[in-house]
Amino acid sequence: MSEPQTDTTPLRRTPLHDRHVSLGARMVGFAGYDMPVQYKEGILAEHQWTRTHAGLFDVSHMGQCFLIGRDHETVARALEALIPADIVNLKPGQQRYSQFLNEDGGVLDDIMVTRSADPDEDGTLMVVVNAGCKDADFAHLKAHLPSPIKLLIAEHRALLALQGPEAAMVLSRHCKDADQMAFMTGASTLFDAIPVHISRSGYSGEDGYEISVRADKVAIIFERLLAHSEVKPIGLGARDSLRLEAGLCLYGHELDVTTSPVEAAIQWSIQKRRREEGGFPGFERISRELKEGPSRKRVGLLPEGRAPAREGTEITTEAGEKIGLVTSGGFGPTLNGPCAMGYVDTANSAIGTKVHLMVRGNAMPASIVAMPFVPHRFHRS
């Protein structure tokens, strides 16, 4: 049986590394970190557990930073020069998904931005970025933020995600009123007596939270959450199958420096004011693509058979003409079948279009379908 290639670069560790090992995790290199890809029960069981109960993920490899300015408007305008989201009009405590863009409108990274809910912290934005991009992102921020804006890289902070339909009930036992928070809002609060910043968001398609805490306190929170019968530890394998079923982009797969947010079908993250006013890198291309449509588009792909189509699989018309490539593909445990995402020429991107996926030289019939593959169950109050 063939074995996957392994990278031998020394890997960084999160504060919970030894705990993952003691829980029986299989550790793999991911974005420079030695991370749990699965625990003893395996990816299928972990995926299903998250969809039905609450899954606890260590995502401390992700980058966290704070941008601090004189007031909200000052810091928001500084960040808006690098991303296409409307940050000026974020309300205190509100969170938004966005992207760092290059001059061509290509995506450098996709990020979450939260305006501090605390009036004493007016002028503070919390930004969470991908692990694999964080060093470049922080350098990008340092190079481009005007000098009165302070960049505070929160290397001393860890990050957990608690995802699933029972996450709100569980977290409310430790964080007062966590279940009262609206989707895509954040708050500084106490977990028992430990200061944390929580946001009601995540990347599984389920209701849930991300919990940012000082690295030296994360083990206590991890254990207290794990002590609940509703909670199990979940590895990166299920994190990936959950986000794939949810139709969410993963940097390095659906997003890279060549893809624009319009091609990636995440133009919902560019609010009206920014579309009209511009003032972000790549505005010319993005504006044109919004008006005329992009030349290629990210789509969902549902194979008719059982064979998964992996990243890099060629997508063709039924006549065999190449129209694109799969960017993420695998098996959806909740869907109980294969599903994939990829880019195709816009002319062939309509929902319902029949295509072929070239898996090991065979043309596998598939359809272009609307995403998500599994309906989102975010908390909408």
Partner 1 sequence: MGEIKYTKDHEYIRVEGDVAVVGISDYAQSQLGDVVFVELPKLGKALSKGDEAAVVESVKAASEVYAPVSGEVTEINSGLEAQPGAINEDPEGTGWFMKVKLADPSELAGLMNEADYKAYLASIH
Question: 38 or 95, CB closer to partner 1?
Answer: 38
- Please, are residues 321 and 143 in contact by the beta-carbon 8 Å criterion? no
Sort strands 231-233 and 54-58 into parallel, antiparallel or unpaired. parallel
C-alpha closest to that of 39 among 198, 167, 231: 231
CB of 306 to partner 1, least distance (A): 5
- Please, are residues 199 and 95 in contact by the beta-carbon 8 Å criterion? yes
Complete DSSP assignment for 188-246:
EEEETTEEEEEES--SSSBSEEEEEEEGGGHHHHHHHHHTSTTEEE--HHHHHHHHHHT
CB of 225 to partner 1, least distance (A): 24
Q: Which two tokens stand for residue 150?
A: 């302070």
Question: 29 or 278, CB closer to partner 1?
Answer: 29
CB of 119 to partner 1, least distance (A): 46
Question: 203 or 331, CB closer to partner 1?
Answer: 331
Q: Which residues are at the interface with partner 1 (CB under 8 A)?
A: 1-4, 26, 37-38, 42-45, 47, 237, 240-241, 306-308, 310, 330-331, 333, 338, 360
Q: DSSP strand E in 206-352: where?
A: 208-214, 231-233, 296-303, 314-317, 322-332, 337-345
Question: 137 or 240, CB closer to partner 1?
Answer: 240
CB of 243 to partner 1, least distance (A): 13
CB of 39 to partner 1, least distance (A): 11
CA distance 189 to 20: 26
CB of 204 to partner 1, least distance (A): 15
Question: 314 or 345, CB closer to partner 1?
Answer: 314
Question: 11 or 219, CB closer to partner 1?
Answer: 11
CA distance 77 to 274: 11
